[in-house]
Amino acid sequence: MLKIEDLHVYYGGIHALKGITLEVPENKIVTLVGANGAGKSTTLRAISGLVPVARGKITFRGEEITRTKTAEIVKKGITLVPEGRRIFANLTVLENLNMGAYARTDKEEIKRDIQRIYEMFPRLKEREWQAAGTLSGGEQQMLAVGRALMSRPALLMMDEPSLGLAPLLVKEVFRIIKDIYSKGMTILLIEQNATAALQVADYGYVLETGNIVLQGPGKELAANDEVKRAYLGKA
Amino acid sequence: MDRQKIKTFLTLGLVLLSCLVLFWGEQYLGKFSTRVLNLAAIFVILGASMNLVLGFTGMFSLGHAGFMCVGAYVSAILTMSPESKEMIYFMEPIISPLDKIHWPVFPAILTAGLVAAFFGFLIGFPALRLRDDYLAIATLGFGEIIRIIVTNTISITNGSLGLKNIPPIKSLWVYWGFAIATIWILKQLINSSWGYAFKAIRDNEIAAEAMGIDIFKHKLMSFTIGAFFAGLAGALMGHLITSVDPTMFRFLFTFQILLIIVLGGLGSLTGSVIAGVLVTVMMEVLRFVEQPMNLFGLQIPGIPGMRMVIFALLLLVVILFYRQGLMGTREFNWDWVLDKVGVGRRKEKGVGVDG
């Protein structure tokens, strides 16, 4: 569904992505793991059109989307859940969800989708009229995911959804990811929690300083000694 | 009766009431009170428009006085009679065709807004690529540049001598009419999808961008609209005091507006209205502190500028202890009033937009 070929991104003089090639097939969970600064977030941001691509090609459903504007990419069906629960703190939960549907114009369908999100996350329904900034960390993450789903993406990209959450909530987040996936969503996931990510993922890529160093089915990677030593903290 | 109908009636009632108040004011208020109230209307427009940029879109812009300056000059030059232009421009005659132009007041005021908006657009284009403190410095600089250009283009603006004999407007209706129209337009804007995009950008630029909101376009739009209303207010200011000169629009003026919106609450139009009136009226009432006075046997000579010290202290107290200002980001709405007086609230069912 999504294909990236030889993607290069620079931040000023820093060569952040040094030719990444990867593929996200339809109805799969693909994960990128790697240490801080390996280029995981940059990859997602480049796909979303939030950082300029220096070289390479990104195609989505056979259509090239390299250097397309973010708004267009969202309309085409790729939505990013940004790192660190970036919700709109002063808007209510409902307004946040409505912002997720910003690129859409079908009002009736938007209302129905909001109901669907509330069914998926009943806590959000309870807090419908509350300012999003007053939600707990876990609820904010649910809201960020719910908001991203409001754009009706075909491909959902999640940047560290479990960051800064209590262990119990991390489990909850992965339950949600599996739940969304079982409803037919394609997911590209970035996680520091590599164990959990590789457990749910169909396929995984290991990034190191802007290069892909390893790839394979999620469970295989989780069992790989090198990955274990470098990212999972096991000897 | 259903709540929506009650609200419509209340709104109509309020419009009628404000008309009555204006009518009464026109008839019975003295010259001085009328003038203060007119000034208050101008500050309401300034506060609300700067709040759109700062409070709703989250752009720390300090160029408001510059746009006011543009508006004031445009409207003044367009409306002054050719005879008084000939008299006032004695250093260097005004260039053609501006010397012959003699417009009625209303189109001139609107044109003033449009020209200021155009300047806003021009300045916003490079400046809005910056953010936070850098944007503040850049816009402050641009505001000053406008003022200095005005001081030096003598054959258009009469330079530092300023303009006199601007056709006066005295009626409360005009100033408050513009103020109410401004509030209404801004309210509609803020509750539209553009308005939500502004607020989303304020709350979190990265998330807003990820949702597919064109950040730069919306920022530029908010900035340009803010400049439009600043120009409008500047034009009204010219017609209120019938003379303008470049020193009126020093950046200190922007801080006075900043005081209003911080006091009223960043992100609340209601707050800007309340604080706009309050600050303007207090400015006049507090004049007594600048008189010589006898405090517990201590003779204090009159100190000009003491009023501003009081406002500075007030601003400090607000920032230290009451950050959100009078209203925070809340707005006046009938639901709140009806809840207070105990008219039953229909249970919200399903998804709706808060009306």
Mean pLDDT, chain A, whole residue set: 89
Burial class (CB in 10 A: 0-12, 13-18, 19+), A145: buried
- A163 vs B: CB within 8 A: no
- ipTM of the prediction greater than 0.90, yes or no: no
A144:B207 CB<8 A: yes
Asked whether residue B208 is domain-assigned, the answer is: yes
Instruction: Say whether A87 and B207 touch across the interface (CB within 8 A).
Output: yes
Whether B350 sits inside 8 A of A111 (CB atoms) is yes
- B120-159 tens-digit pLDDT: 999 999 999 888 899 999 999 999 999 999 999 998 998 8
Domain range enclosing B114:
36-341
Residue of chain A with shortest Cα separation from B196: A99
Q: How many folded domains does chain B comprise?
A: 1
Q: Per the domain annotation, does A122 fall within a domain?
A: no
Q: Cβ of B350 and A90 within 8 Å?
A: no
From the list B43, B49, B11, the residue with the least C-alpha distance to B269 is B49
Looking at chain B, which residue has its C-alpha nearest residue A49?
B210
Residue B347's pLDDT is: 46
Q: Does B206 touch chain A (CB under 8 A)?
A: yes
- Per-residue model confidence (pLDDT) at position A148: 92
> B125 to chain A, minimum CA–CA distance in Å?
19
**Total length of chain B:** 355
Burial group, residue A206, by CB count within 10 angstroms (0-12, 13-18, 19+): buried
CA B127 → CA B26, B79, B134, B183, B254, distances in Å?
43, 32, 9, 26, 17
Average pLDDT over residues B34-60: 95
What average pLDDT score do residues B25-51 get? 92
Residue A110: closest CA among chain B residues belongs to which residue? B351
A190-212: average pLDDT:
88
3-state DSSP call for residue B298?
A: strand
Contact partners, residue B72, CB within 8 Å, separation at least 6: B112, B234, B235, B237, B238, B244, B248, B249
Return the ∠ at Cα A191 (arms to B208 and A179), rounded to 5°.
Answer: 80
pTM score: 0.88
Which residues of A fall within a CB distance of 8 Å from B329? Answer: 90
Residue A147 is predicted with a pLDDT of: 93
* pLDDT the model gives residue A234: 55
Looking at beta carbons, which residues of chain A come within 8 Å of B202? 90
B204-221, pLDDT tens digit by residue?
Answer: 998 998 888 999 999 999
User: Is B339 an 8 Å CB contact of chain A?
Assistant: no
Quick check: B96 contacting A, CB < 8 Å? no
B210: contact with A, CB 8 A cutoff: yes
Residue contact A48–B210, C-beta within 8 A: yes
DSSP B117: H
SS3 B114: helix
Task: Write the CATH number for A50.
Answer: 3.40.50.300
Range of the domain at A183: 2-86+153-232
**Could you say which of A80, A92, A98 has the minimum Cβ distance to residue B210?**
A80
Per-residue pLDDT at B285: 87
pLDDT tens digits, one per residue of A44-95: 999 999 899 999 999 999 999 998 988 889 989 999 998 887 899 999 999 9
For the cut 60, the answer to whether the pLDDT of residue B85 exceeds it is yes
Mean pLDDT for chain B overall = 88
- Give which of B58, B215, B208, B192 is closest to A148, Cα–Cα: B208
Q: Which residue has the higher pLDDT, A153 or B99?
A: A153
Residue B42 predicted with pLDDT over 90: yes
Q: Where residue A235 falls among pLDDT bands split at 50, 70, 90?
A: very low
CB B150: neighbour CB atoms within 10 A? 24
Distance of CA B145 to the CA centre of its chain: 20
Q: Which residues from A are below 8 Å from B348, CB to CB?
A: 129
- pLDDT in the model for residue B345: 55
Number of separate domains in chain A: 1
Residue B2 within a domain: no
Cβ–Cβ contact B301 with A under 8 A: no
Which two tokens mark B292?
């010589």
Question: So what's the pLDDT on residue A222?
Answer: 84
Say yes or no to pLDDT of A223 above 80. yes
Q: Which residue of B has its CA nearest to A86?
A: B207
Query: Helix, strand or coil for residue A79?
Result: strand
- Residue A66 falls within a domain, yes or no? yes
pLDDT at position B94 over 90: no
For residue B9, is it within any domain? Answer: no
Instruction: Tell me the two tokens of residue B126.
Output: 């490079």
Is residue A76 included in any domain, yes or no?
yes
